[in-house]
Structure 1
Amino acid sequence: MKDFKTLLSSVRATENNNEYTVDIEETWLQGRTAFGGLSAAVIVKAMLNQLPYDRRLRSLAVMFVGPVAAGEHRIVLRELRAGGSVTHIQGEIICNGEVGATVSAAFGKDRPSSTSLASPIMPQVAQPETFDAFPFIEGITPTFTQHFDMRLCSGSLPFSQADSADFSMWLRFKEKGELDVPALIAIADVPPMPGLNMIKHPGVGSSLSWYLEFPSQSVNTQMSDWWFYDYRSQAAGNGYFNNYATIWDSNGQAVMFSRQVATVFEK
């Protein structure tokens, strides 16, 4: 079983300009596809190889187009523009000749500014160890979740037919190592989507699109550090959920804002 760092090291440049390969391992799947955070992370990993050191990821927009199965796939990049402060890049992961996911990302330098607004304050919550861990149940729990430690703080578990889609949780990688941008992207997409907790088994949910913003530099430095998630659904109907989240590091700093359009199939 490959850990995240080992899988990420399989992102390698080819002889073709702006093209890479990646080897997806089966323990990182969610059903028949790699979980969305991983697909986005490997594309951004390729992007980082082509950027100046002073340009930090500010935002990314992901479209989940088709399945990204286990095996070797191509990553193709296209630089849209490299300005004085911001670089825009698009990337695709190509699986058996078809697009699996696309990423549009903006990387920008820090700029001098006289304006500053405080980020949202993290809710008061007990420490992770006071909550029960999500169990990994082979054949029932998504395969990739065995790589993470999740603790539900509020709200309901998936398929519990709850009255509300909203929930909060603590989450971290089970592996150790230095945190980097691809790991940050991956961990942002680990929790079950809001809405799965409102339907009954064997319903299915998946992301259609995902937007992620990075308002500040994380002070977390290790993959084993905890993250706190506040996930909410803004609207739902006709098989789609419009969800959003704020993600704080263990020091209470808001590090990521997330928006998601998700599909739900009730059986």
Structure 2
Amino acid sequence: MTLQEMLDQAATGTVHVQEGWGQGRATYGGLVAGLMHSALRARLPTPAPLRSITVNFVGPVTPGDAAADVQILRSGKSATQGLVTLRQGESVVAAALAAFGAPRESAIRVSSSMAMPQLPEPMTIDPLPYISGATPDFFQHVEMRLADGGVPYSDTTTSHMTGWMRFREAPPTFDERHFVSLADSWPPAVIQMLATPAPGSSMTWTLELVDEVAAEPDTHWAYAVHTDHAAEGYAHTDARIWHPDGRLVAISRQTVSVFG
């Protein structure tokens, strides 16, 4: 089953999570978020752009059937907020709270204070490889080209990364559902500081969309992440994502648990 088929199926409230999207013992978090977003978007009383989604990864999502329970918390003239929980069997494995809002007139406009970094052209950088049994399974679906920072478990002193990302196989179209599914693809920025592999995973992830993300399916998106703080087995990271034309389109924040 392709990514597109899973996203379309999730909109019905039930979905079969396909094998091959693993990240350790769990399914890749971006896919989990994308499925929940698709389920929630399908239930909106009035279509509106996604403004923010916060995902809590409660337990490992495994390949197999899952059910998305959607609750519209409030729907006003321009904004709608909803909650979706993803269940496998009797267990809640993930939950997401999202806000959608139609554009409205406003006298306030503040440009982003963080410009898109100067990056080499995407095709001049080799993508992080997919190596069966050595890298996460979902690397076979997502292409990341690292421009600055270290690869996981390289014992570096840096805790930032910049680069480009896109799907290895472009979907038929590219909209919010695909962007949410892609945006979480980069490894936690701090695991490059480890010398040997150790478990690590996102606990919470908040993605805020600030501009249009519908694009050509094979678009390379620029990414930059830095670590605000890390101690006692937890790291807090802050990232930005840009369209290649230089527009800031998203802000991504994570709390990550690291066992190492």
- Range of TM-score over shorter length: over 0.9
Please tell me the root mean square deviation across aligned C-alpha atoms, in Å: 1.2
Residue 247 of structure 2 corresponds to residue 256 of structure 1: no
Distance of 1:251 and 1:3 partners within structure 2: 29
SS in 2 for 1:93: strand
**8 Å CA contact retained: 2:55, 2:204:** yes
Q: Which residue of 2 aligns with 1:34?
A: 27
**8 Å CA contact retained: 1:156, 1:162:** yes
Shift of 1:171: 0.8
Tell me the percent identity: 35
Match of 2:41 among 4, 23, 48: 48
**8 Å CA contact retained: 1:196, 1:204:** no
Residue 79 of structure 2 corresponds to residue 86 of structure 1: yes
CA shift digits 1:212-243 (9 cap, x unpaired) = 1011113x512211011101100000000000
Shift of 1:259: 0.6
Counterpart amino acid of 2:8? S
Q: Which residue of 1 aligns with 2:185?
A: 190
Q: 5 Å matches for 1:67-146?
A: 67-119=60-112, 120-146=114-140
SS in 1 for 2:20: helix
Q: Which residue of 2 aligns with 1:16?
A: none
SS in 2 for 1:7: helix
Distance of 1:53 and 1:88 partners within structure 2: 11
SS in 2 for 1:50: coil
Distance of 1:236 and 1:11 partners within structure 2: 35
Which ranges of 4 or more aligned residues in structure 1 deviate by more than 4 Å? none
Counterpart amino acid of 1:23? H
Residue 207 of structure 2 corresponds to residue 212 of structure 1: yes
The alpha-carbon distance between structure 1 residues 54 and 24, as it changes in their structure 2 partners (threshold 3 A), is closer
**8 Å CA contact retained: 2:43, 2:70:** no
Counterpart amino acid of 1:157? V
Distance of 2:197 and 2:150 partners within structure 1: 16
Counterpart amino acid of 1:102? A
Residue 2 of structure 2 corresponds to residue 8 of structure 1: no
Counterpart amino acid of 2:105? P
Q: Which residue of 2 aligns with 1:231?
A: 225
Shift of 1:9: 2.4
SS in 1 for 2:4: helix
Q: TM-score, normalised by structure 2?
A: 0.96
Counterpart amino acid of 2:192? N
Q: Which residue of 1 aligns with 2:159?
A: 165
**8 Å CA contact retained: 1:3, 1:175:** no
Q: Which runs of 5+ in 2 are unaligned?
A: none
CA shift digits 1:60-115 (9 cap, x unpaired) = 11111001100011110111111122111000100121111100000111000112
